Amino acid sequence: MKPIRTAASALAIALAVPGTAFAQTELSLWYHGAGNDVERSILVGIIEDFNASQDDWAVVLEEFPQAAYNDSVVAAAVSGNLPDIIDVDGPVMPNWAWAGYMQPLQLSEGALDGFLPGAIGEYNGEVYSVGLWDAAVAMYARRSTLEEHGIRIPTLDAPWTRDEFDDILETLQASGEFEYALDLGMADQGEWYPYAFAPFLWSFGGGIVDRETYQTAEGVLNGDEAIAFGEWWQSLFDRELVPGTSQDMADREIGFIEGDYALQWNGNWFGIRTLEAVGDDLLFLPAPDFGNGPKIGGASWQFGVSSTSEHPEGASAFIEFAIQDEYLAAFSDGIGLIPATAEAAAMTENYSEGGPLEVFFGLSEAQAMLRPVTPGYVFQALEFRKALSDIANGADVIDTLDAATDAINDDIERNNGYATAQ
């Protein structure tokens, strides 16, 4: 069927027949956001605009619930049924690109100018995916609480230092007004751990894996800086400054709003909800600086083209169409994420100048650092999460980091160094 259709559409173009919708080649698109009506209506809007804007391609949407999405793509890849366009979580992209599920995008020169670095998915020197948005994490606080306890309000140029941050937590805890001084979100035991907590490790000077070669974690995840981070991390729980791994998700969602927690380390996607509850008193503060600058994680969901697509040029054309500022702004207004360009940010309610979440754009621009860009990240994230949980629950810091390092190195070795297949 497909070659015939392609031939027909080629013929249609050759004859320059207007309005030949029947001659469009179908491109399938898989998306992870099933169940979210707002997300769906925006995406459907983009697809309709794209399909109407030209005569070659017709994108068809298929949606999956987020929890089942990655499994569906892997299953489809194994059975050879991948769609033309897939969306992919930023840090997972190198794994899929390496496994041969994805191919580099064919974007025109300058299409990604002005994009936040976290929205561009690059692997092996090629752009495989691009996001319409990025996400950012901030320290949620109440201005009134900080002023009452004489705590300095940090800025991007002068973030809290490690000692200052520790003093602040102790002060807040000692005030007795709060159940815990800080909520890290230990209840959210998924990608949140590496996304939200690896930046602390980076700021200490450690890392999950050596970023030069991606061949070893030795000395990076169990070096002196990482051990210092691990000991600090454990001390948060020993001093009972933060809720532990058995925190309930409901407490995570309402604890700061209800005043049980003085500070909260949370993503911008919680921003609007918290703002509605807390009002003008709410502050979004930059990450503390543990010695190597304040850091937060970058990269969210992005669009890419599958390796089995017969029409990669059409798939890329759709992606290039979708990354226009107006759609970036629409997604941001709809679901509260950070638009990928400054121009789009200016068009949004929340991220334009004076907008309530504007600060997140600055945080993302100034502090965002990508999680390790390697196919092994998927495994490394699991080991990192386990190590942080174990250390929080009292395991020996050095032994735990050693174990995670060994597990990561074994995995790299089992995969021949994650070398790209030639």
Partner 1 sequence: MSSPGPQKSLQRHPLAGWLMIAPAVVLIATFLVAPFVLAFGYSFTNQRLISPNPTEFVGMRNFEQLLGIGVLTLSPEVDEAGSPVRDDDGALQYPRVRDYTRNNPDYPHLEGMREWFGWNWGNDRVLVLARDLVFMKALTNTLIFVAVVAPVQSALALLLALMINQKLRGINVFRTIYFMPVVVSIVVVSLLWRFIYDGRNGLLNNLLEFLSFGLFQPIDWLGNPDTALWAIIAMSIWQAVGFHMVIWLSGLQTIPVSLYEAAEIEGANAWQKFRFVTWPGLRNTAVLILVVITMQAFALFAQVDVMTDGGPVDSTQVLVFQAVQRGYEQQNIAGGSAISVILFLIVLAISITQRYLTRERT
Is 399 one of the binding residues for partner 1 (CB under 8 A)? yes
Is 360 one of the binding residues for partner 1 (CB under 8 A)? no
Is 291 one of the binding residues for partner 1 (CB under 8 A)? no
- CA–CA separation, 278 and 271 (whole Å): 10
Residue from 117, 244, 355, 362 touching partner 1 (CB under 8 A): that is: 244
CB of 301 to partner 1, least distance (A): 19
Nearest to 225 by CA among 200, 246, 244: 200
Which residues, including other chains, have CB under 8 Å from residue 272's CB and lie 6 or more apart? 336, 350, 356, 357
CB of 262 to partner 1, least distance (A): 17
HEC per residue, 44-71 = HHHHHHHHHHCCCEEEEEEECCHHHHHH
Is 189 one of the binding residues for partner 1 (CB under 8 A)? yes
Residue from 53, 144, 292, 415 touching partner 1 (CB under 8 A): that is: 415
- CB closer to partner 1 out of 66 and 189: 189
Question: What 8-state DSSP symbol labels residue 270?
Answer: G
Is 166 one of the binding residues for partner 1 (CB under 8 A)? no
Is 68 one of the binding residues for partner 1 (CB under 8 A)? no
Residues that bind partner 1 (rule: CB under 8 A) add up to a total of 35
Residue with tokens 């991606």: 214
Is 216 one of the binding residues for partner 1 (CB under 8 A)? no
Binding marks (x or -) toward partner 1, 76..105, rule CB under 8 A?
A: -x-----------------xx-xxxx----
Residue with tokens 């309530």: 356
- CB closer to partner 1 out of 79 and 416: 416
- CA–CA separation, 166 and 160 (whole Å): 9
User: Which two structure tokens, joined as six digits, stand for 27?
Assistant: 């491109």
Nearest to 184 by CA among 287, 92, 89: 287
Is 124 one of the binding residues for partner 1 (CB under 8 A)? no
Q: Which range, of 40-48, 116-124, 274-282, 411-419, touches partner 1 by CB under 8 A?
A: 411-419
CB of 328 to partner 1, least distance (A): 31
Q: Which range, of 15-23, 267-275, 281-289, 414-422, touches partner 1 by CB under 8 A?
A: 414-422
Q: Which range, of 138-146, 246-254, 323-331, 363-371, touches partner 1 by CB under 8 A?
A: 246-254
Is 64 one of the binding residues for partner 1 (CB under 8 A)? no
- CB closer to partner 1 out of 15 and 249: 249
- CA–CA separation, 333 and 178 (whole Å): 33
Q: Which range, of 42-50, 227-235, 242-250, 289-297, touches partner 1 by CB under 8 A?
A: 242-250
Residue from 13, 34, 74, 335 touching partner 1 (CB under 8 A): that is: 74
Q: Are 131 and 300 in contact (CB under 8 A)?
A: yes
CB of 421 to partner 1, least distance (A): 4
Which residues, including other chains, have CB under 8 Å from residue 118's CB and lie 6 or more apart? 90, 131, 134, 135, 298, 299, 300, 364, 368, 370
Scanning 80-181, the segments in alpha helix (DSSP H) are 93-99, 143-148, 162-174
Which residues, including other chains, have CB under 8 Å from residue 130's CB and lie 6 or more apart? 105, 107, 112, 115, 119, 120, 121, 302, 303, 304, 319, 323, 340
For the chain, the straight-line distance linking the first and the last C-alpha, in angstroms and rounded, comes to 32
> β-strand 120-123 against 296-297: which pairing, if any?
unpaired
Is 126 one of the binding residues for partner 1 (CB under 8 A)? no
Q: Are 298 and 90 in contact (CB under 8 A)?
A: yes
Question: What 8-state DSSP symbol labels residue 263?
Answer: E
- CB closer to partner 1 out of 178 and 284: 178
Is 403 one of the binding residues for partner 1 (CB under 8 A)? yes
Q: Which range, of 153-161, 196-204, 355-363, 409-417, touches partner 1 by CB under 8 A?
A: 409-417
Is 402 one of the binding residues for partner 1 (CB under 8 A)? yes
Is 188 one of the binding residues for partner 1 (CB under 8 A)? no
Binding site for partner 1 (CB under 8 A): 71, 74, 77, 95-96, 98-101, 189, 244-246, 248, 251, 378-379, 382, 389-390, 393-395, 398-399, 402-403, 406, 410-411, 414-416, 420-421
